[in-house]
């Protein structure tokens, strides 16, 4: 939101307040941006199935100042700690189209266990958490048993966690990758579970050459509607305060 381009009529009114004008505009823009951020969060709860707190907090707010009468709400491109940057998974939901590769995909590709440039799609053997995402513990077990891990500054094969592998062994579970598929099984990562009288194989991840998303998060539509509804309210309130302050002087 830029005061001159988004609300040119308000820009004319600001000049009548003298030195207080830019302050009125900056406060109004910033408070409107906070409303936009809250509205986007509500829209995520509608558009997505049980979005995580990480996703809900995936936007940032750049406040307006007296010298820069512009406020901005957009998707974060830096991760929290070791998380995935929010723009990698939110932008495809906003704009549609493909997405970038996730950490596990890059690791599998770097180790020759997955075709270069392909993507992981959950299979029936995937364990989902309360938010509908594959459990991180299962991904860790898979990478551990496949002897894949991220080294210091590079990606490499390495011996997996002994504790993790012992747990998998007690469960009678084996994970294996088929980069090119085999015997009717498409390329992917599979889970083989042994029973007293046999075994069963299920896909945990299936490899696909591309993924396409339909735009689901109405980021710009919700943002624009909130700006048009809330900025005049904030501006009028701040304008009244400024006018009253000027009269008192």
62-113 pLDDT, tens digit each: 999 999 999 999 999 887 666 788 888 899 999 988 888 888 899 999 999 9
Query: How far is residue 25 from each of residues 9, 93, 138, 178, 243, measured CA to CA in Å?
Result: 12, 32, 50, 59, 13
Closest CA relative to residue 143, chosen from 187, 101, 176: 176
Return the pLDDT at 134: 86
5-17: average pLDDT? 78
Hey, CA dihedral for 116, 110, 54, 225, is it positive or negative?
negative
Residue 153: band (very low, low, confident or very high) from pLDDT cuts 50, 70, 90? very low
CA 83 centroid distance within chain: 9
Answer whether 32's CB lies under 8 Å from 25's CB.
no
pTM across the whole model: 0.71
CA 94 centroid distance within chain: 10
- DSSP 8-state symbol, 243: H
3-state secondary structure of 212: coil
Measure the CA dihedral 118/123/129/133, to 10°: 30
Return the pLDDT at 160: 41
Return the pLDDT at 130: 75
């Amino acid at each position: 939101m830029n005061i001159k381009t988004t609300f040119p009529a308000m820009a004319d009114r600001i000049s009548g307040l003298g030195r207080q004008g830019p302050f009125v505009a900056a406060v109004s823009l910033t408070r409107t941006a906070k409303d936009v951020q809250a509205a986007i969060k509500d829209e995520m709860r509608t558009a997505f199935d049980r979005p995580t707190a990480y996703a809900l907090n995936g936007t940032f707010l750049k406040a307006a100042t007296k010298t820069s009468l512009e406020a901005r709400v957009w998707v974060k491109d830096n991760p929290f700690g070791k998380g995935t940057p929010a723009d990698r998974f939110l932008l495809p939901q906003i704009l549609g189209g493909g997405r970038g590769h996730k950490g596990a995909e890059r690791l599998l590709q770097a180790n020759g266990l997955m075709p270069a440039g392909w993507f992981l799609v959950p299979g029936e053997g995937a364990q989902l958490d309360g938010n509908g995402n594959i459990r991180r513990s299962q991904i860790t077990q898979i990478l551990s048993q496949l002897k894949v891990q991220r080294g210091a500054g590079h990606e490499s094969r390495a011996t997996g966690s002994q504790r993790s592998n012992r747990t998998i062994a007690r469960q009678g579970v084996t994970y294996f990758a088929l980069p090119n598929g085999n015997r009717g099984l498409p390329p992917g990562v599979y889970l083989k579970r042994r029973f007293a009288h046999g075994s069963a194989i299920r896909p945990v991840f299936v490899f696909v050459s591309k993924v396409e998303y339909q735009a689901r998060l109405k980021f710009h539509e919700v943002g624009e509607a909130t700006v048009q509804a809330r900025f005049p309210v904030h501006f009028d309130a701040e304008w009244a305060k400024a006018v009253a302050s000027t009269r008192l002087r």
